[in-house]
Chain A
């Protein structure tokens, strides 16, 4: 197979990389670009540790070919952070609630939850459970993750209603 050069836009920065047509987005982000927040967990799209946002939608990096990401915006967990390593409010909720133990699932959890909360009205706890089915956690039992996401969803909802009222 021949190597191909392509440009990947990751967290707002363009990276020129050489890839094989068979290289997954996970391979390129983790091994070529050194992004530790995109992780190999199963290679089957089951566990969610390689989750990234592709044009804002969560995808499994292990099931997406790198070439499929050309011309699209890739966002990893690190991409949510502000200047000076400032945490995104959802990250702060995770920290406050102790929603991370070993931390391996955390990027996938946060990116998946962010997409859910941003999609519309405040999701119920059951909606959040449903959205997280593709993101496995073996440490926390999920309760603290759900608590963290609910707090963030409340913050977003109250912000939205504040802006809606005159």
Chain B
């Protein structure tokens, strides 16, 4: 069979994984960065079509209510209004998510437009299309919805209480995952020491600077959407909503102005598609920042309870973990987020006896879904706090205790699966601490400093039962230039650029001679979405395989032209020459000459290849099985200063080190780590999307403060290249992992400074003061008892 006919497990290895490399491992600036720095990048909102209308979503102002009626007559009567749509206008008004995240069980559907019931503030109820944005806004205000308010539930504990109002007929438990090995309860009872902790995290806003946006139009009967999305594969869902054949919906992904998981679910897509389908005209929709704050998905708040047992020498013997995640009003990706939380709850440590339970709970809050870190980041505060508490109890150093318990290659996770690649978390911890250098000293009276560390194990790739795959198509043109087509979407992390670097490495073509077309569900081979830190692993491997297969196919032609053996060739600098006779004087052919020669001999220079990731299964009954293809390990370290009078925490130094397997582009790797750490610092110390009784308290961007250039110091970065990842050339994913360590690292440093462990995020001055006050009153009580 030819490679284009079907998928293969892996491509043949041609060159050594260890290099040396010509393009990989360097940090060239690439096409999209040039456009961005020039200001010429066309984002989703920058697209214009003749006769384009402006769309607007009418949203529920109540967290829980019955819809008694909707009167659209006033909105329709407004001059300039072209369409007002309600649930009755949606051909198939349900988006289905499996409650178990793909492992069968029951399904919960979400209406595209609410018909008889709203379940959160911001839920879409109607749509408007009008000649101008201004008219669309006015018309949306004129849609009169008659609501009968119903009781709601707004936190996970109330939602699970007997007699709580139910968000859905199935009840308020969306899914429960369990992982179990050994006998945790017995091992805890027998442990020399047991530490317990309760940890809480908050709702967090993605706050990508580009709000949700897109333009849709009809072209040859195909509903075409050019949007800011991480996932063009939603085209099939949109087709189902419109009851159209799947080949009649096309989604084009513009380069995104950030996403961080918030553009992994559909945002504007179904609404744009409905308005385009009904009006038969182009429509643009841009969500206001304020609308996005209220209605877009958020990071799951986790309530985590840990019990950890150890022997007196600091060896962990058992751990019990219970996690409750606030899913909000609809499933979205909550089942998968809670699975990742359970799979990572024990961190990068050996835990021979473990019972881990995680539950996603429906509430009448805005839905939670994907956000960089995806459940695996919230639990780091839990497992790392437990390590620090254990170290304190045993009088051991925190690093020594961790080293005693770090996982190693070949060890089993609590799921029973062995770790197949190197676990360089210990090295990462030492390197991160070393980056900090001298311990900072207090800047004045009433101020104390502390140093903290935080280690993590973070998956890259989708949950393993999804049998993930990605395709890439390459062609060498007669002038020696190369075209890459891939359905990959680009968040700004250089997803597309990395594929160019890999292709340049294998085919020996200059980066400037490569063009890449991405993110088009109709014209490019599917890459799967850009999420789960999966694209370098999946599309990187697909592109590497495609490039190697194309080179292998052309090699006999080149060998023939040069009169050497086909396995004696070097593809470099736009030429092919004999490896053994390499040198300035050696005979060579240019890639252009090779392409022409291949064409003459009916050897195709275009090639499609599909790469399949690892597959496996997790068994919910045995609570054992496989989780993710592999993990990325890292550690952070920080010095902080706590002001005992104000509770203010100042970060003095911050360092991060991760094993990325192989850095395809070191500058971009560093940028990912620095950016993730900064997001993590916001999460640790400031960001809180407070939702009270279902109402978001930040109505303005000014009320939701993400870190600015003054808030935190530079993030120092060290990169380990173990060469053992499962991505191309031994790379691991790095998009999400570095956000996980931060809150735990800061909590560790605060703990070191004041001797008290913060358990609730964000660690605001108010909360730090409350901790200090508790200690003062505790000391007072003790003094009285004496």
**A residues apposed to B, CB below 8 Å:** 30, 34, 36-37, 39-44, 46-47, 49, 76-78, 81, 85, 87, 91, 94-96, 98-107, 110, 128-130, 132-133, 135-146
Contacts and interface: CB of A to CB of B under 8 A. Distances in A.
A87 B37 contact: yes
A73 to B, nearest CB: 17
B668 A138 contact: no
Contacts of A145: 709
Contact of A102 (B48, B210, B289): B210
A27 to B, nearest CB: 8
Given A141-B674, A145-B709, A146-B709, A102 B257 contact: yes
A1 to B, nearest CB: 10
Contact of B39 (A95, A107, A139, A146): A107
Contact of B675 (A37, A39, A41, A140): A140
B678 A142 contact: yes
A30 B668 CA distance: 30
B29 interface: yes
Nearest to A107: B39
30 contacts: A34-B46, A36-B40, A37-B40, A41-B289, A49-B210, A77-B39, A91-B38, A98-B668, A100-B492, A101-B258, A101-B492, A101-B493, A102-B36, A102-B258, A102-B491, A103-B36, A103-B41, A103-B255, A104-B258, A104-B492, A106-B39, A110-B37, A129-B709, A138-B260, A140-B671, A140-B675, A141-B671, A141-B715, A142-B674, A142-B678
A42 B289 contact: yes
B37 A95 contact: yes
A144 B209 contact: no
Interface in B36-58: 36-43, 45-46, 48
Taking residues whose C-beta sits less than 8 angstroms from the other chain, chain B's interface range is 35 or more
A43 B209 CA distance: 11
B208 A138 contact: yes
Interface in B600-630: none
B384 to A, nearest CB: 21
B38 A40 contact: no
Contact of A146 (B211, B288, B668, B714): B714
Interface string B233-264: 00000000000000000000001111010000
A132 to B, nearest CB: 4
Interface of B: 27, 29, 32-43, 45-46, 48, 206-211, 255-258, 260, 286, 288-290, 491-494, 667-668, 670-671, 674-679, 700-702, 706-710, 714-715
A128 B39 CA distance: 21
Given A34-B48, A91-B37, A103 B674 contact: no
Contacts of B43: 36, 39, 104
Given A41-B209, A46-B700, A132-B708, 18 more contacts: A30-B46, A49-B210, A98-B27, A101-B258, A102-B256, A102-B258, A103-B33, A103-B35, A104-B492, A106-B37, A107-B39, A130-B709, A136-B706, A137-B709, A138-B260, A140-B678, A141-B679, A146-B709
A81 to B, nearest CB: 7
A137 B444 CA distance: 32
B211 A41 contact: yes
B289 A144 contact: no
B136 to A, nearest CB: 13
Contacts of A30: 45-46
Contacts of B35: 103
Nearest to A48: B209
B708 A136 contact: yes
A101 B40 contact: no
Nearest to B716: A143
A106 B36 contact: yes
In the A-B complex, the 9 residue pairs with the closest CB atoms: A103-B36, A102-B492, A37-B39, A104-B257, A141-B678, A141-B674, A77-B39, A132-B709, A42-B701
B33 A140 contact: no
B115 to A, nearest CB: 31
Contacts of B701: 42, 44, 46-47
A94 B37 contact: yes
Given A40-B286, A102-B257, A130 B210 contact: no
Contacts of A143: 674, 714-715
Nearest to A47: B209
A136 B286 CA distance: 20
A153 to B, nearest CB: 15
A102 to B, nearest CB: 3
A47 B298 CA distance: 20
Nearest to B715: A141
Given A47-B209, A91-B37, A104-B43, A139 B492 contact: yes
A103 B492 contact: yes
A139 B675 contact: yes
A77 B37 CA distance: 9
